Structure formats: C-alpha cells, structure tokens
Chain A
Amino acid sequence: MEMNRIDGKNRGEITLFTLSTCIWCKKMKALLQEMAVAYQFVDVDLLDGAEKEKALEELKRFNPLCSFPSLVVNNSTCIVGFDETKIKETLKGE
C-alpha cells in the first residue's frame, strides 16, 4: 500500500488513514503539519479495489468501524476522529 510520507520531528511511527473529501481529515493533516511531526498517510477513497481492501483490513485492526480520520501511533494506539486535545497530548514528545 502506497503511503505518502511527510517529514518532520520523530514522535514514533504515525500512520494516518484519511479520505480526500473529508474536512476533518484535512484539519488533522493541517494540525500534524503545524506540529511539524513526521507521519505517513493514505487517502483511502483514492485507492483502487485491492489496495483499498488492504488499507481497510489494516485499519480494521485498530478501528473496527473503519471511520476517518484514524491516527495510528506505534502500531498500538488509535485516535479516531479529529480530537485535537488527544492528538497534542499523545504526540507531545519529551
């Protein structure tokens, strides 16, 4: 699955599942940019059939509802929705 990588400060392995049409997903990307955090993201609605299935399978492990945005940190924590306080708290670093 092709991930878009954004450079920035290392706050762990951050994977963001988004939709290109979703405004809350857009806000999430803007917040991560503002925080200058390194992360990778995938706009699931722009993927083709098999790739889309693969992305959803992966997302389902962390968020069974497969809702967007979903931010997976270090393959364990998943923040669902644009929860600004929680995102800042989780990614605040040392």
Chain B
Amino acid sequence: MARDITPEEIEAFCATIRRQATSSGYFLNPDEDFTRDLVKSLIVNRERYGYPSCPCRLASGIAAEDTDIVCPCDYRDPDLADSGACFCALYVSESIAKGERKAGPVPERRPAPEERGRPRSGDAAPSASLQYPVWRCRVCGYLCARDEPPDICPICKVKKERFERFM
C-alpha cells in the first residue's frame, strides 16, 4: 500500500504547480479541495511510476509510452481551447477560474492504445535550407530555432523530451 502523503507535501506541490501556471498564463481549478485531491494523485503517480502522469488516465509504467500524459499532458491546451478544462480539470480556462462557468466532462482526445505507436505528426525531416532545426514544445506549442531543444521549456516548464522536431 502506498504511504500516506502529508497535507504539507500536497500544499508544496500545489504551490509549485500554481506558480508555474500563473507565470505562463494558465489557471488552476478554483475548487481548492478538488485541486488538492488531483495534486495528491499526481504525487501518488510520481511515486508509483517515477513521473507525475495524469491521474485520470491509466499509465503503462513505461516512461517512453507515457510521455504524452505526464502532467501537463500534450492534450491540455487543445482541451482548454475546446472544453475550457484539461481532461482531469486541474487546468481550466480563465472564465472557469473566475467562476463564470463550470467545468464539465471533457472527451478523451488521447488516441486508443493501438493507435499510439504510430509516428507523431512532428519529428519532421530536417530542412536543408534552414540554418537551424526548429523544435516545437508538444505541450504549449513554443517554437525555437537552435541545435537542440532547451532542457526546460521557457513557457510551460516541461522537460526537453516533450519537444519534437518541427522543421
């Protein structure tokens, strides 16, 4: 059985996520009990799998297969645009954050297990006419032209492995 996670740990992780969200223009769910519950589940998954995968999706436990669902997931931004919330509703749109609207169920946009093995849309072949390759953050869409993607996305703070070759 998993160990008990202390309220202080949850509070600390919550504060980190909130700080990163706020500094890059994202909003957390205003229902604090709901958000704390989700953050607790992120800690459970981080201990179980070694990375904080989405609490509302089944992780395989194999890091390379779960990259797209490490929070914040690859599907957060399109879900925010279409539904006003990410799949688990940890992240919400500004109007939901302000209490003007309520978060409803968000349809799953992650492909079915057998579809996931296919090459991603990104990882384009290098273009000979470019002086530098262009890298795209799969989480927030940030683009940069340099030899390697940055270790941490300057916009949404995800790690280097979340980048794909764009051009």
A binds B: yes
A interface vs B, CB < 8 Å?
19-26, 44-45, 56, 64-68, 80-83
Query: B residues within 8 A CB of A20?
Result: 44
In the complex, which residues 92-107 of chain B have their Cβ closer than 8 Å to any Cβ of chain A? 105-107
Contact with A22, one of B41, B107, B108, B110 (Cβ below 8 angstroms): B41
Could you tell me the distance in whole angstroms from the C-beta of B39 to the nearest C-beta in chain A? 10
| Interface SS majority for chain B | loop
Q: How large is the interface on B (under 10, 10 to 19, 20 to 34, 35 or more residues)?
A: 20 to 34
Q: Is the CB of B108 within 8 A of A21?
A: no
User: Would you call A66 and B113 a contact (CB within 8 A)?
Assistant: yes
Within 8 Å by CB of A66, from B55, B59, B89, B112, lies B112
With the chains together, A21 CA to B58 CA distance in Å? Answer: 9
| Interface residue? B34 (CB, 8 A) | yes
**Docked complex Cα distance between A21 and B5 (Å):** 13
Bound CA span A83–B108, Å: 13
Count chain A CB atoms within 10 A of each CB in B45, B55, B89, B108 and give the residue with the most.
B55
- What 1/0 mask marks residues of chain B from 22 to 66 whose CB sits below 8 Å from any chain A CB? 000000000000100110010011000000000111110000000
